[in-house]
Each structure stands twice: as structure tokens, then as C-alpha cells.
Amino acid sequence: MKPYDQFSVEDLCDDTYFKDWVLGRLDADDKFWQQWQAVSCDRQMLADQARLLVVALHEHEVSVFDTDEIQDGKKKIIGDIDYLSGKGSRISFVWLRIAASLLIISGFGWWLSTNRLNVQTVQHAFTGADTFPQTIHHNQNSQIENITLPDGSQVRLAVGSELVYGHDFGESIREVYLKGEAFFDVVKDAHHPFLVRTGKLTTKVLGTSFNITAHDQDPDIQVSVRTGKVTVFKQREIRSKDNPLSAEIVLVPNQMAVFNKEQQILIKTLVANPLPVVKNIKQLVFVFEEAPVQQVYDTLEKYYGVDITYDQELMSQCSVTADLRGEPLYKQLDLICEVLQAQYKTIDGQIVISAAGCKK
């Protein structure tokens, strides 16, 4: 097999096997390209960009290397499509990506003058499918819209938000596009990853519940996990000495990923109001009488599913007397730190305690 992971957009556009798939020439049971791109975000992005180029160039029967205009168009697609799709256009952001690609490739002229491109062919380029259309939910109501996806997954789509998915949803990959905010309760399927694409951020799960906030006007995209485990990707690898943070992070309940659009930084933190993750709360006691600090922190870790880091040796002589019933996590931490003359910070999705220690 060819080393497709090492291919550029241009390489894929010149590959006969890839072009035959894009243009619907392969047998219906040939699922290689659907499965290949489902493995990672990078493959998906590469395939998306190459599909758009193949369709546009096929319509004009030109080589991908023919003109400087085509070369400039390819660079624009690689660097600018996601930027264009996030500018708040009222056009569906999926179609904006396609239209922007076609306009750039062709130099704008033929699109504006003739609009000859076959809609079904464009749709095939984007979804890898042979028929039209996509399903689009745009919540223009005054309340949350409840949506059941073809696989049974549930989506609570916030007011003013948009959810888009292809008619082939679930065949090889479960993929949706979101603008705005939605809560997802995803049916577990180890063979079909569930992807939520929001601008330059992709969230990948097998089965879990989580919330995504991705409004165009907001400086950040936020992904918070309620149950299960979620992987969050940046669409492009942007790493330097000034930005050493990982382009991929894993989230568990009560953790949140925040992607800063301007700085292109993805960080892990905790949600604003962590919720219990244990089923039998009665087993945990929140009234402490001269309790060792380790017992107190272990109780909070089990209750909220968060990691609490502290110097166990330094704080081995510390004890806590406090009634923490009915208080949210951060209030509980404030009370504990007040007793111990300590401080806490949220770093990389965990709570870090700093203190001078205690003397008996």
C-alpha cells in the first residue's frame, strides 16, 4: 500500500485510487478511504481538502500543477478555509468551506458567470457519498431542540445553533459539524468513532456525554465532559517554543478543553461547577472531625473524579475539622485551604494544593 500518511494534498489529488473514490468510480463495498480517514483528524483534514480540489479540477479537466493560480488556490485552501468558515456567514458553514475552495481554485470567474458545478458532485466530494443531501438542523426556536441522530445518539441543540451531518452518517464514521452550542449523549460504538467538528477543533468519542460551545463571536471553543472520555484535537499542529502545549488532549468527567482561537492554544482545565461522578453518595462522609488531610482529599477525588495533587510528606501532620455538606467543590476547597493556610490552583485539569505544612 502507498504511504498515504506521507502524501500532501497535491499527491492525493494525483492519486488514481483516491480520485476514483471521490468521483464515485469505486465499488460500493470498497470502504478503504472511509476507514483510512476515520483513523485521525489529520487524515480527515487531508482528505477533505483533496476531495474539494479533485472535484473542482475534474470539472475543468486541468492538472493540479498547471498554473500559478492553481498553486495559489491550493495554499489558500490549506491555510484559509477554516478562517473563512468562522466569519459568521449566514450560509451553512459546510457549504461555505466548499464554495470558498471552489472560488479560490477557479479564480472566481467561472463560478460567478456560469455556476456549472453539479451539486451532487460537490456533495460527493465532501461526504464521500453518491447522493444528496446532508441533514441540517438550525435551531431557530426559542428553546433547546432535541435531536436523535441515526445511530440513536441524542443532541440537545441550543437556540441559534446549527448541526450538520451527511446522509452516510454511521457507515464508516459518525461525524457532525456544529456551530453554536450543543450537549451530546453519544451511543457507544467502538467500531465507529463519533467526531464533532467545530472550526479548528475536533472532538472524538466512542460513547459518552459532553457539551461543546463554539459560537463564532466567542474568543474560545469549549468542550466539557459529563461522562466517559473524550479526545480533543486541534485541526493543525501548531507547536513552538512559545506554544509547547499538546495538539491533542484527553478529557474525563468534570474536565474541560479550552481552545483560544486567536492564540491557537489548546489547554485542559476543570469545568466551572464540577458535578458528582459517584453513584452511591451515601458512602462518602463530608463531616470531618480532626480528619487527616489525605482522607479529606481522597473523599473529594472520589466524589468529583478529579485529581488533587499535594505534598503528602509535607502535609502528613495536617488535619481538618469542617462540615462540607451541600457545598460545591470550589467552596469546599476554599474552606479546607482556610483551615490549613493553603492555596490551590487548577493546572492541566487537576487541582494543585500548596501549603507550608502543619506542626503537631
In a domain, 276, yes or no: no
In a domain, 161, yes or no: yes
Pairing outcome for strands 174-185 and 194-198 = parallel
Tell me: do 98 and 201 sit in the same domain. no
* pLDDT on residue 1: 66
Measured at the CA of 70, the angle between CA 262 and CA 86, to 5 degrees, comes to 25
In a domain, 187, yes or no: yes
DSSP 251-286: E-TTEEEEEETTTTEEEEEE-SS-----S-GGGS--
Query: The domain that contains 298 carries what CATH number?
Result: 3.55.50.30
3-class state of residue 244 by DSSP = coil
Return mean pLDDT, the chain.
77
Residue with the bigger pLDDT between 325 and 242: it is 325
Tell me: do 167 and 245 sit in the same domain. yes
Residue 51, CA atoms < 13 Å, CB-side half-sphere: 25
Tell me: do 122 and 139 sit in the same domain. no
Tell me: do 44 and 99 sit in the same domain. yes
pLDDT band (50, 70, 90) for residue 81: very low
Tell me: do 246 and 335 sit in the same domain. no
Tell me: do 288 and 248 sit in the same domain. no
* pLDDT on residue 58: 57
In a domain, 227, yes or no: yes
In a domain, 360, yes or no: no
Pick left, alpha or beta for residue 12 (phi over 0 → left; psi -120 to 50 → alpha; otherwise beta): alpha
In a domain, 359, yes or no: no
Rg, C-alpha atoms of the chain: 25
In tens, the pLDDT along 43-64 reads 877 887 787 777 666 544 444 4
* pLDDT on residue 265: 87
Of 130-134, 280-284, 302-306, where does mean pLDDT reach its minimum?
Answer: 130-134
* pLDDT on residue 237: 44
* pLDDT on residue 64: 40
**For residue 3, pLDDT beyond 60:** yes
3-class state of residue 162 by DSSP = strand
What type of residue sits at position 129? A
Tell me: do 149 and 262 sit in the same domain. yes
- Alpha helices (H) along 107-162: 109-113, 119-127
This prediction has a pTM of 0.62
In tens, the pLDDT along 90-109 reads 334 444 444 444 444 444 33
Q: Which of 270, 299, 325 is the last residue of a domain?
A: 270
Q: Which of 270, 296, 324 is the last residue of a domain?
A: 270
Give every CB contact of residue 300 below 8 A, 6+ residues apart in sequence.
306, 308, 329, 332, 333
Residues in the chain, overall count: 360
Tell me: do 223 and 326 sit in the same domain. no
Query: What is the C-alpha end-to-end distance of the chain, expressed in Å?
Result: 69
Q: What does the pLDDT average to over 299-303?
A: 93
Q: Which of 109, 127, 145 is the last residue of a domain?
A: 127
Query: The domain that contains 176 carries what CATH number?
Result: 2.60.120.1440
Report the number of distinct structural domains present in the chain.
3
Computed from CA positions of residues 51, 52, 58, 61, in that sequence, does the dihedral angle turn out positive or negative? negative
Select from 221, 243, 242, 219 the least CA-distant residue to 232: 221
pLDDT band (50, 70, 90) for residue 235: low
In a domain, 149, yes or no: yes
Rounded distance, CA 131 to CA 39, Å? 24
Select from 235, 229, 204 the least CA-distant residue to 39: 204
Select from 80, 84, 98, 94 the least CA-distant residue to 162: 94
What percent of the chain clears pLDDT 70, i.e. is strictly above it?
72
Burial of 224 (0-12, 13-18, 19+ CB in 10 A): buried
Residue with the bigger pLDDT between 85 and 142: it is 142
Tell me: do 176 and 258 sit in the same domain. yes
Give every CB contact of residue 219 below 8 A, 6+ residues apart in sequence.
260, 261, 262
Tell me: do 175 and 299 sit in the same domain. no
Tell me: do 107 and 142 sit in the same domain. no
Q: Which domain holds residue 161?
A: 134-270
Of 5-19, 216-230, 321-335, where does mean pLDDT reach its minimum?
Answer: 5-19
Tell me: do 223 and 141 sit in the same domain. yes
